[in-house]
Amino acid sequence: MGCARNEVDSEELAGRLHAEGWEVTTDGERADVVLVNTCGFVEKAKQDSIQTLMAAADTGAKVVAAGCMAERYGRELADSLPEAHAVLGFDDYPDISARLGAVLAGERHDAHTPRDRRELLPLTPVARRDTDVVLPGHLPKHLRRRRLADGPVASLKLASGCDRRCAFCAIPAFRGAFVSRTPDELLAEAEWLAKTGVRELVLVSENSTSYGKDLGDPRLLERLLPQLAAVDGIVRVRASYLQPAETRPGLVEVIATTPGVAPYFDLSFQHSSEPVLRRMRRFGSTGRFLDLLSSVRSFAPSAGARSNFIVGFPGETRSDVDELVRFLTDARLDAIGVFDYSDEDGTEAATMSGKVSRATIKRRYDKLLALADELCTQRAEERLGSTVDVLVDSVSGSASSGEIEGRAAHQAPEVDGSTTLVAGDTGVDLAALRPGDLVRATVTATEGVDLVAVPTEMVSAAPGSAESGAWRGAASSESAGSRGRSERSEPAGGAPI
């Protein structure tokens, strides 16, 4: 359930189980044990996790809860959800096989009492390397995660935890302090993923801009990105979860100009009114955020940019909302997520005065959501007539019926819309396309945030694709490096066991 970071954790658990002889499947209907990797971020995500656990119980299998919600609530969740035969915390992950074996044997598992996982690691980041604290997504060298999907895109976890203290967020308390994985680990995993057919790497963490600070080099991401882009078989690397206050000019330039790195900026703005941001324990303002976006576009005019925003935070006024509207109108973001504020257990914001009424929050949420839809549609329309490089995600049905779906550089998986490839007068054979192909295309229409485009040439064929037909005849002879420069200069669940 939840985010891409949880997907990586699910594949860690699957890898540990496979190594111990379990048959791992995503078909819960025939499983002996259904392991639900829960999300504990906000109330809706928690309710989705509970409903999934209850639905899993209907299969007749043993049901086990793991993941963020299980870690965050532990014994409380176990007591309130008898449908779950066990509730496991992160400390159980290294022994996941034994835990599930005990469940199958009918043994009782005593759920943990939650604790603030930030207290398990030293306060100084560089002192966190030599500890035995369990960090989800940080597998020992002798183990490998097991992919639960076979598409051309996979997430690569840079780090775990977070050192920021945003007033609305409980994640650091149950995910712990920030710990980076080493470049050697990441490059080795990237090479392995490429060998499984992955063509695009999406770098995930709670805060990617902090990568390397505990390794003694806060600019390490700037050096790592070109190395990942150079991995044989990888045609696109996408960085996500960037904190605006930590997005340095050097990092902006590397993301915007490095061949093989998507000029894509997933920036966690959350709001733009300075008074609201200060109450959130965050930094920035409308002016500073617009300056950051301006610096991005000075390197890559067609760069993609997305962000999420919270409306109704305690103390938010009508003038604060007006300031956010001003920012959104000027920012030209490709994707905008809008969330209505709600109190979260254990957060500073839950204890703040100046609460905005639910009726007012809903009214502001509806207003911002409608504005976001309108602005993102306008931004997509700005790309009409431009050339984009599209990574094909799926091919279904007849190619002539327009069922070839992919994503341009400004479109991250699942959250930012997609590009449908359709036939045109270019004389190319759409039927030759396969998932993982990277093709150049001209945008001819839009549908909300989604694009419709006509392919013009093959940039990089996926391994195993046929080498005949009009596509292969029109294949570009450009190197990976020149492909990257060309792209930048153009407009542009749970895992059952």
Q: Is 169 annotated as a binding residue?
A: yes
SS3 64: strand
- Beta-carbon contacts of 243 under 8 Å, excluding residues fewer than 6 positions away, are 164, 207, 209, 210, 267, 268
DSSP 176: -
Q: Under 8 Å CB-to-CB from 308, ≥6 apart: which residues?
A: 268, 269, 270, 336, 337, 338, 339
Q: How far is CA 368 from CA 167, 284, 308, in A?
A: 22, 20, 11
Contacts of 425 (CB under 8 A, 6+ apart): 454
Whole-number Å distance between alpha carbons of 63 and 340: 32
Contact residues for 265 (Cβ-Cβ < 8 A; gap 6+): 242, 247, 252, 255, 293, 296, 303, 304, 305, 306
Beta bridge partners of 35: 64
Report strand pairing: 450-460 vs 438-447: antiparallel
Query: Does residue 186 contact residue 159 with C-beta atoms inside 8 Å?
Result: no
> The tokens of 412 are what?
């991250």
Is 376 assigned to a binding site? no
Is residue 236 classed as helix, strand or coil in its secondary structure?
strand
| β-strands 387-395, 335-340 pairing | unpaired
- Three-state SS for 37? strand
CA gap 107, 127 in Å, rounded:
39
Tokens in use for 431?
């039927």
3-state helix, strand, coil in the chain (%, to 5): 40, 20, 40
For residues 443 and 452, the answer to whether their CB atoms sit within 8 Å is: yes
Which residues contribute to the annotated binding site?
3, 39, 68, 162, 166, 169
Which residues contribute to the annotated binding site for [4Fe-4S] cluster?
3, 39, 68, 162, 166, 169
